[in-house]
Structure 1
Amino acid sequence: MDALKTYWRRLQQFVLPLRCLLCGAAGFAGMDLCADCAAELPRNRSCCARCALPLATGAALCGECQRRAPPWDAAWAPFRYGWPLDRLESRYKFGSDLAAGRTLSILWQREPCPIGLPQLLLTVPLHRHRLRRRGYNQALELARPLARALDVPLRHDALERRRSTDAQTELDAVARRRNVHGAFAVREDIALPAHVAILDDVMTTGATLAECTRVLRRAGVQRVDVWALARAPSPRVTG
């Protein structure tokens, strides 16, 4: 079976060779990115241990988490939301560019997870109206191959979005919290384990993930981690 998969992958690359989605050069390491563009991706190496906010120094916690810790236990965001990853993310999320999504998923799978793996991986749900318009849940499509690679069970239906909310993109931190307050619920017929992680594509202020965390806590989950592909360097950054 592995040999057959390798054959079809090589055949596909021969017929449709990999090309960098950013500059058009030849793909690199099985991705639609060239080596130079891949090297420019902003890894989130120095960051807050609690919220993954990028930090200039090696401090364990950012100032905000020292003053008031978020409701979740730990965060993992392997990239910073900046050039050129932000262009790939925008094309994937708003431009229906599934090739960009596939590339982002591969990049995430190749990053080591610095925290303990959960018993179950969940994704931030879209309201059915937005899901119908977009055609896919960008967080779920990133989560599926990542869950397989890490051998972590994934459920897309444990969390529900009760009501439609405004897009978070143009809102400030306070408005974001108000926007998602009471927007999520855990399905009553689903039993959750003690340790789960909730995944989204980009984390800016963390308002959405915080609201999901509170709902999961009320449902009896003891430990909640938050995962995001990328973390905005400050709440003012769009994401």
Structure 2
Amino acid sequence: MVNSAIQALGGALFPTRCCLCQWSCAGTLPLCDDCRAELVSNQQCCQQCAVPLATGAAVCGNCLSQPPHYDRVIAPWLYGEYLAYIIGRWKFHGDRALTPLLANLWHCGLPSSLPTVDLLVPVPLHWRRQWHRGYNQADLLATQLLNMYPWLMANRQLLRRRHATKAQAGMDAQQRSSNLSGAFTVSGGCDNLRVALIDDVLTTGATAGAAAGALKQAGAARVEIWCLARTPPPEKYYLE
């Protein structure tokens, strides 16, 4: 009772501010209901790569013709203007306090119950990039998911970046794939494990594909990508 009173007093004196509109909002997560309603869900999508589909098809043409190394992508949101701003603050501007909000958005956007996996593995940064940034955003998200789902396990050392890659902003899918060739190595056994790779945003899937390929070569039975958002492709790539 005393703790509740103290929390109520703290909320009155120091209300939580929405990270988008800056208005006060209920609870401890910095996103008001109106701004949350502006986020675009990604429910009608390819069951393998999570690219949004214009029809009710289960799998997109690209995954049918060239199946990726990963088995499934869970990306509950589309990478629109508002979510891009939140993720940008979190990823590039050191606003780590947004991690619980982003984990909550991932959880609330799940299309069904939490999938059964054996291991969470954050997609690693090269040590130089992590030293420059100060943290790995995928590791922050994985840690928060472990707090939310305490029965899950994680291995932060299983997957490593073998060499630094060029920044991929502005690259097309083929350039990204070439840039990531041989970038990941697996240091340990993962025979028959069901692995969930944790990342922030899936764009072309090149990073996810390279990491999943390394895990599959090391014996993983299934690799899923758990990320916050999927970048929509150019309009011409939508399945009609």
TM exceeding 0.5: yes
One-letter code of the match for 1:110?
A: C
Residues 198 and 4 (structure 1 numbering): CA distance in 2 closer, same or farther, change over 3 Å? Answer: farther
My pick for the range that moved more, 172-181 or 142-151, is 142-151
Q: Cα distance, 1:111 vs. partner?
A: 3.0
Is the 1:173–1:235 contact (alpha carbons within 8 Å) kept by the matching residues of 2?
A: no
Distance 1:205 1:15, change over 3 A: same
Given candidates 49, 64, 69, the residue that maps to 2:47 is 49
Other structure's SS at 2:81 match? coil
Letter in 2 for 1:146: L
Could you list the per-position Cα deviations for residues 90-120 of structure 1 after superposition, in whole angstroms to 9, with x for gaps in the alignment? 1111111223333212222333364632110
Unaligned runs of 5+ in 1: none
Let me know the Cα RMSD of the aligned residues. 2.2
Confirm or deny that 1:204 pairs with 2:203: yes
How far residue 225 of structure 1 moved from its aligned partner, in angstroms, is: 1.1
**1:179, 1:231 → 2: CA distance?**
20
Q: Secondary structure of the equivalent of 1:160? A: strand
Query: Relative to 1, partners in 2 of residues 1:11 and 1:57: Cα closer, same or farther, differing over 3 Å?
Result: farther
C-alpha deviations, 1:16-68, integer Å up to 9, x for none? 31101111111244310111101111111111001011112221111211221
Contact 1:122 1:196 in 2 (8 A): yes
Change (3 A) 1:59 1:102: same
Tell me the CA shift for residue 157 of structure 1.
1.4
Structure 2 residue runs of 5 or longer lacking an equivalent are: 236-240
What amino acid maps onto 1:209 in structure 2? Answer: A
- For residue 89 of structure 1, report the CA deviation from its aligned partner: 0.8
2:177 aligns with: 177
The CA deviation at 1:185 is 0.6
Deviations 1:104-147 (A, max 9, x none): 12222333364632110101001111111111101111111113
* Deviations 1:60-90, CA, capped at 9 Å, x for gaps: 1112112211111111111111121111011
Gap change, CA 1:233 and 1:193, over 3 Å in 2: same
Question: Percent of aligned positions with the same letter in both sequences?
Answer: 40
Q: Is the 8 A contact 2:125 2:136 kept in 1?
A: yes
Looking at both structures, which has the greater relative contact order when contacts are Cα pairs under 8 Å and sequence separation is at least 6? 2
CA distance in 1, matches of 2:2, 2:76: 32
In 2, distance between residues paired with 1:76 and 1:68?
Answer: 19
Deviates more, 1:95-104 or 1:225-234: 95-104
